[in-house]
Amino acid sequence: AREQAQLKASVVEEDTEEWQKDSSFMGLKRVGGVDLSYIKGDDTSACASLVVLSYPALEVLYEDCRMVAVRAPYVAGFLAFREVPFLVEAVQRLQQEEPSLKPQVLLVDGNGLLHPRGFGVACHLGVLTDLPCVGVAKNLLQVDGLARDELHREQIRSLQRGGDMFPLTGTSGRVLGMVSCGDYNNSSKPLYISVGHRVCLETAVRLVKSCCRYRIPEPIRQ
């Protein structure tokens, strides 16, 4: 928790890049996606993946997928200590092998500020790599009074049209993320988008939506 608090002090919750200020993201050429996937029934063998796509065409430019042995135990709220080292290594390999393909932003399968201590996987990876990062989660993390209760389900049901969304406001009054429902394949399952590092929430949401062909944004899906 101490290490998280120290690293959290470095999180930047606003846009820092020129391309972020342009409504069509002019200047954005490469978007990365990262994920750690576990073998069913084995929580120590995982595949760490980093994929870089061209933008806006979303064509795969680079893939790095390798099996890793996960040694740190899973502890709620500390997932990053289990997963981030492998993702940092993947980013470092890319910088060494194909520096011209370095992503300008990473979409992370997990949460950013939407976290018990406001420092999820997307924040952790962003601070350690100094890359803009966005958290994209499939399930709601129940923090700061947020809950998968009837009110939340009712709000999700009200997201009829693709592009509909609503903010996740905790009992503290702070907006921790955005719930977005896409217009892809009529999926009614929402995405939970939160700031990771060096990007504001509005930009994060626009970027994720622009990368979706299906429910999961393409960099993470690939």
Distance, in Å, from the CA atom of 134 to the CA atom of 40, rounded to the nearest integer, reads 26
Q: In the prediction, which pLDDT does 58 show? A: 98
pLDDT higher than 70, residue 201: yes
**Please, which pLDDT band fits residue 125 given cuts at 50, 70 and 90?**
very high
Coil vs helix vs strand at 155: helix
Task: Look up the domain containing 38 and give its range.
Answer: 1-220
pLDDT higher than 60, residue 186: no
**Please, which pLDDT band fits residue 17 given cuts at 50, 70 and 90?**
very high
Strands (DSSP E) found in the chain: 30-39, 42-54, 60-69, 105-109, 133-137, 165-169, 175-180, 191-197
Distance, in Å, from the CA atom of 171 to the CA atom of 149, rounded to the nearest integer, reads 14
- Exposed/middle/buried for residue 164 (C-beta within 10 Å: 0-12, 13-18, 19+): middle
pLDDT higher than 90, residue 202: yes
Q: Among 36-40, 153-157, 201-205, which stretch is predicted with the lowest mean pLDDT?
A: 153-157
pLDDT higher than 60, residue 185: no
What mean pLDDT do residues 31-44 have? Answer: 95
pLDDT higher than 90, residue 159: no
pLDDT higher than 60, residue 184: no
Per the prediction, the chain carries an average pLDDT of 93
pLDDT higher than 80, residue 115: yes
Q: In the prediction, which pLDDT does 164 show? A: 80
- What's the domain count of the chain? 1
Q: In the prediction, which pLDDT does 183 show? A: 59
Q: How many residues appear in the chain?
A: 222
**Please, which pLDDT band fits residue 167 given cuts at 50, 70 and 90?**
very high
Coil vs helix vs strand at 203: helix
Enumerate the β-bridge partners of residue 46: 38, 68
Q: In the prediction, which pLDDT does 181 show? A: 78
What is the sign of the dihedral through the CA atoms of 158, 159, 164 and 165?
A: positive
Tokens of residue 71, six digits = 């040694």
Distance, in Å, from the CA atom of 58 to the CA atom of 1, rounded to the nearest integer, reads 37
CATH number of domain containing 120:
3.30.2170.10
**Please, which pLDDT band fits residue 187 given cuts at 50, 70 and 90?**
low
